[in-house]
Structure 1
Amino acid sequence: MFLKLYRFIISRGSLPVLLTLLVACVVAVVEGSLSPGDIFLVFLVASLQSFLLVYEFLFDAAVPVERLTEENRLPDSDTVNAVAMGMSFIPLLLWGGAWLAWVALLAAGIYLSRSLWVLLMRLAGRGRLTTQALGELDAQQPAVAVYVSGLADVAYQVNQWLPVLERLDLPVMVVARQRGVFDGMAETDIPVFYARNMAHVETVLGYGVRTVLYPANTMHNVQALRQFQLNHFFINHGESDKAVNQSKLLQAYDKLLVAGPLAHRRLVGAGLALRDNQVEYVGRPQAELLLEQAGQQTHQGALRVLYAPTWEGFVDNVDYSSIGKLGLGLLKALSEDRNVEVVFKPHPYTGSRKSAKAAELAEMMSFCRANGIRVEESLVSIYECMNASDLLITDVSSVLNDYLITRKPVVMCVNEMMSVLPVDELFPSARAAYKLRLGESVGELISTIVQDDTVARLRQEVRADSLGDFPEGAMAKFKQVIQESVIDAVQ
């Protein structure tokens, strides 16, 4: 019960204010009472903290349609939270004299004055700023919009498409439903526009857009799907055997741009009522553009192993992650092998649903730091990591399928939940990978692979089935499909 209450308080961002009141109560008990001036000080502290809690909401609401740039980026949330929490201890200074507490409050007020000024300027100029954004849209007339919505680290889903979108011979924009999307995006010349609610989405899409692309299947997508006159294409953010890629909600899109025949069979097998020509193969153009094949690199020295596990998923029955005992065990084993160089790149969502998984990830990160294992953050491209590796260790995820482009060996972790399942039957892409289970020796497995890569031929078969085969190239195919969609859209 208390844990649920704590989580509720955290989710509402109320902890700093409650902590301030608690500290004030402790001071009152120790001192016997608080003077009216002391109570007023506590009130001001709590008011400033409350302002910080609603600052992002007010910042968003002030200008509901806006082109996102470095100049109008939100303050770092970690810094804001740290300031709010730090202010909770100002009442403690009352023990040393009220003047100390007032000086600390004044310092906090001065620190926050710029944020308050920026907010006031946005509120005062909201009409002008909105008109400016709409003027930019009118001048650009983007034919293609990429619609992005989701958790704080969702930007990785659109980042992988940016090199492809930048090569389209059409004006493109990104529509971000949360301002934080822009914070995690890679540098690009493609304009990013914030649309706060459904009405603003309709406004933004009314400036020349013919086709909307969706890299994820989120609940906010329905607010754009209402625009019946537009083409709505699901492009996904990876080709994998995860259950999420079999959702009935996929039936809502005009076209499902999948990588290859394997994805099509997966949808049919899940019982989706697909329409004629709804599914089209376009490969993985970003992987084709950015990944190097084995033999294109000249590397000497230790075997470079990339360990890129997935996250725990939104529900337990799709938790394919090896984060935990399996992942920590393989990191420990590989760290003891002088002939192996390991890079750890966890999924950016890891621990977002399960606090236990977040703790396990923290333990693994701590081990990596203590043992010289490089950890790549979420903003580092997974394709860069793939190119700088000789072998991949991963889970059921699109990382496995994309890596097939490189023709290098893949090891797939089979966690405890999956250990009783017919893995190759339920996850067809797994046929291209060696399997690693809890308690098995990753060192011995890698030694075996280096000596005789028996799965090499099967990897090529799965690659063609999973990622398609395009003589003209996946990039050319994708461009053709998008170009035709813009021409054919209802005017």
Structure 2
Amino acid sequence: MTIRRLCGVLRVRRTTDLLLVLLLGAGFAALPVFALLPSLWGFVAATAVTYVVDEVLHVRVPAFVRRLAALHLDRTMRFAVRTVMLLALASRLEAPDAVLVAGLAVFSAHFAMMMFYTAVHHAVRRRRILPLVVRNLDMSELPVPEQPPALLYRRHLRKLLHLDLPAHAGLLVAAATGSEWAAYAGFTLTIGTTTAGALGILAQYRRARRMPARDEVFAAVNRQLAGYRPEVALYFSFAAVSRDFMYQVNMWIETLEQLDLRPVIILREGASFRYLSRTWIPVVCVPRADDLAELELSAVRVVLYPGNAGKNVHMLRVAEAKHVFIGHGDSDKLASSNRVSKVYDEIWVAGRAGRDRYQRVRHAISDSAIVEVGRPQLSPIRLHADHTPGPLPVVLYAPTWEGWSDDDCHTSLIPMGVPLIERLLAENVRIIYKPHPLTGKRSAEAAAADRAIRELLRADNERRGAAEAEAAVAAARPRLREIQARLDELAGRQRGDDAAQLRAARVPDRAGEAEWQELRSEWHRVFWESRGPLHHNVIARQLPSLYDCFNQADMLISDVSSVVADFVASLKPYALTNAHDLPDAEFRAAYTTAGGAYLLDRACTRVPSILSAIRSAHPDPMAPARRTLKDYVLGPDHPTSMERFNAAVNALARKATAEQTQRPSDLAA
């Protein structure tokens, strides 16, 4: 318990990382001791330990490194401590005064040039920050300078600090051999390389001064938008930007690409831009509200919102367009029937269940504002009748996260996640564990349960023969990396800062769609084949996709969330976690998706009987309920969801256009 508490305080997770932290502390504590004794070789060993362990911790435990910085023990301070202790050692070893003075001057100059370099680097970076970034528009007319070389631009402080190594090594060699020339050679190398770096970044600053002005950038982007004339906009903003949230946009891309009207995607946070999936649709990322108002979007008649966020008001003010909340999944959570949705002109839901859910929020949403459009994203999900079972039943456990507060906490991880996995392992099934991307972000208990489940699956994989499986995974890894690199290239993901991405922006070749689909299919095939039919899998990245996990599974166990509503499209058996042990009738009355579900109690005693649905040769008793529920939750199969969604967009665009043409005559009257 003491070790676990210490790991929590120091922001480390593994015992190995804790040992590294303690080794770093011991190394720094030994530096003044060996400097004052004096002990040259003890000092050399302590210095080497602090250098090496420091670098390892930056890679393995960045949270601990950030904790040190918060305590004013950042990397610069740690390097300064080593330098001061080195000078103290040289003095105690009675180094010549000339060497000591030269060393003090060199180290002082080195730190001064680091400050100068950092100031110029910040100036270059500020000049290269643009008011907007685009993708899939031709920005070749803008004279944007190339990004500075990575050697000068990326992780500059880390590289500059390590330039003190020649001076340190030279002074230590001089102390060991008595040769002053070793010290002077190290001093010269340190000062020479630092000066060269400072001159290099200064040259990059001169280039950065030629960046186009803000008005030039907007003029060029607006010319491209005016030529394209977007009619439908997908608008997305979220406070905690990361790849964890971009699924809310990525799930709609293929749907937007099939619309009759011309789409555009508008993002508000630069951090989310790099996680956008492949698309030929023009994308504009505009962080500031004032800049958003300057975009040429006069032809936009429909704006689609996959999420409720404060920055939505910056787009909602556009009176010429109709504003629609489309969400990012239908579920029985409170967020899927939020009263805030009243600000939109219409709310589009998958099926009748969504309409009824909003009607339960009394005096909030008008029934006429709700439109049933289906879920066009669900076409990749294979039906139960087309599924081929493997040698072991495959259970997908996909719990939701702990929510922003305890009021909307539906996760089963905390109260029953670990016992559930233990029960499933005792039943000899293959488990695919796919936690929500935000699991553990708010709750330490959820994070602990997640780690415990991963450890249980790892241990059981070892029991099943992990060595052979790991060999297959290792053999497949190079091909998966190769495919992923090509997917990133096709997605248009450019490395570099805002200016570099704007400089590289071009109208894409739509012919890449076929290659994109083929590569994604191959990636999934190679991934699952390398994992084999017996071993458990923890899915924590964007690939394999959630829907591909659906296709692998014989059954889903999940919480109240949109994952369940999407899984209903497969008509496969699924179980909902009843973590509060509500009476079955009460639970089914509270949650629509429970209508076709097996209900799993908190103690998980029903696991064997639930698994009989995928093991027994007898008909599945919940199958008729699932077929009825599918129509209720997702709408009819004909016309298709894509046809209904496209028709809804067209109808609302016509309505917006009609109101626009009518408004001038009303004003005249």
Answer yes or no: is 1:142 the counterpart of 2:230.
yes
Answer yes or no: is 1:399 the counterpart of 2:563.
yes
**Are residues 92 and 213 of structure 1, via their aligned partners in 2, closer, same or farther at CA, if it must alter by over 3 Å?**
same
Mapped to 2, the partners of 1:347 and 1:107 lie a distance apart of 49
**Are residues 107 and 164 of structure 1, via their aligned partners in 2, closer, same or farther at CA, if it must alter by over 3 Å?**
farther
**Are residues 127 and 428 of structure 1, via their aligned partners in 2, closer, same or farther at CA, if it must alter by over 3 Å?**
same
* Deviation, structure 1 residue 281: 1.0
Residues 187-234 of structure 1, C-alpha deviations (whole Å, 9 max, x = no match): 122221111211222233624211100011111111111112210000
Mapped to 2, the partners of 1:434 and 1:367 lie a distance apart of 24
Pairing 1:112-127 to 2, within 5 Å after superposition: 120=208, 123-124=211-212
Aligned equivalent of 1:41, options 110, 113, 120: 110
Answer yes or no: is 1:435 the counterpart of 2:504.
no
SS of equivalent to 2:342 = helix
Identity of aligned residues (%): 26
Pairing 1:150-189 to 2, within 5 Å after superposition: 150=238, 151-153=241-243, 154-189=245-280
Mapped to 1, the partners of 2:587 and 2:410 lie a distance apart of 11
Aligned equivalent of 2:642, options 469, 475, 484: 475
**Structure 1, unpaired ranges of 5+:** none
User: More deviation in 306-315 or 18-27?
Assistant: 18-27
Pairing 1:208-357 to 2, within 5 Å after superposition: 208-275=299-366, 277-287=368-378, 289-324=379-414, 326-335=416-425, 337-338=427-428, 340-357=429-446
Letter in 2 for 1:190: I
TM-score (norm 1): 0.82
Mapped to 1, the partners of 2:262 and 2:558 lie a distance apart of 36
**Are residues 92 and 225 of structure 1, via their aligned partners in 2, closer, same or farther at CA, if it must alter by over 3 Å?**
same
Residues 557, 575 of structure 2: 8 Å contact kept: yes
Mapped to 1, the partners of 2:346 and 2:422 lie a distance apart of 45
Aligned counterpart, 2:537: 374
Residues 83-130 of structure 1, C-alpha deviations (whole Å, 9 max, x = no match): 4795697498575457489489859969x9699679937844655544
Mapped to 1, the partners of 2:126 and 2:610 lie a distance apart of 50
* Deviation, structure 1 residue 248: 1.9
Mapped to 1, the partners of 2:204 and 2:445 lie a distance apart of 37
SS of equivalent to 1:482 = helix
User: More deviation in 197-206 or 420-429?
Assistant: 420-429
Which structure has the highest helix share of the two? 2
Mapped to 2, the partners of 1:488 and 1:365 lie a distance apart of 52
Mapped to 2, the partners of 1:212 and 1:253 lie a distance apart of 10
Answer yes or no: is 1:19 the counterpart of 2:74.
yes
Letter in 2 for 1:210: R
* Deviation, structure 1 residue 319: 1.6
Mapped to 1, the partners of 2:421 and 2:204 lie a distance apart of 47
Residues 132, 284 of structure 2: 8 Å contact kept: no
Mapped to 2, the partners of 1:192 and 1:365 lie a distance apart of 37
Mapped to 2, the partners of 1:68 and 1:384 lie a distance apart of 28
SS of equivalent to 1:307 = strand
User: More deviation in 363-372 or 293-302?
Assistant: 363-372
Residues 330, 565 of structure 2: 8 Å contact kept: yes
User: More deviation in 447-456 or 382-391?
Assistant: 447-456
SS of equivalent to 2:255 = helix
Mapped to 1, the partners of 2:73 and 2:132 lie a distance apart of 31
**Are residues 20 and 259 of structure 1, via their aligned partners in 2, closer, same or farther at CA, if it must alter by over 3 Å?**
same
Residues 179, 194 of structure 1: 8 Å contact kept: yes
Q: Computing the radius of gyration over CA atoms, which structure comes out larger, 1 or 2?
A: 2
Residues 260, 468 of structure 1: 8 Å contact kept: yes
TM-score (norm 2): 0.62
**Are residues 282 and 119 of structure 1, via their aligned partners in 2, closer, same or farther at CA, if it must alter by over 3 Å?**
farther
Residues 304-324 of structure 1, C-alpha deviations (whole Å, 9 max, x = no match): 222222112111221212334
Residues 107-159 of structure 1, C-alpha deviations (whole Å, 9 max, x = no match): 9969x969967993784465554433222211111100001122212210111
Aligned counterpart, 1:195: 286
Task: Please report the RMSD computed on the Cα atoms of aligned residues, expressed in angstroms.
Answer: 4.4
Residues 23, 91 of structure 1: 8 Å contact kept: no
Mapped to 2, the partners of 1:168 and 1:299 lie a distance apart of 36
* Deviation, structure 1 residue 18: 4.8
Aligned counterpart, 2:623: 456
Pairing 1:4-83 to 2, within 5 Å after superposition: 18-24=73-79, 26-27=81-82, 30-31=85-86, 35=104, 37-42=106-111, 45=114, 59=128, 61-67=129-135, 83=155
Mapped to 2, the partners of 1:201 and 1:179 lie a distance apart of 13
Mapped to 1, the partners of 2:447 and 2:116 lie a distance apart of 32
**Are residues 135 and 431 of structure 1, via their aligned partners in 2, closer, same or farther at CA, if it must alter by over 3 Å?**
same
Mapped to 2, the partners of 1:350 and 1:328 lie a distance apart of 14
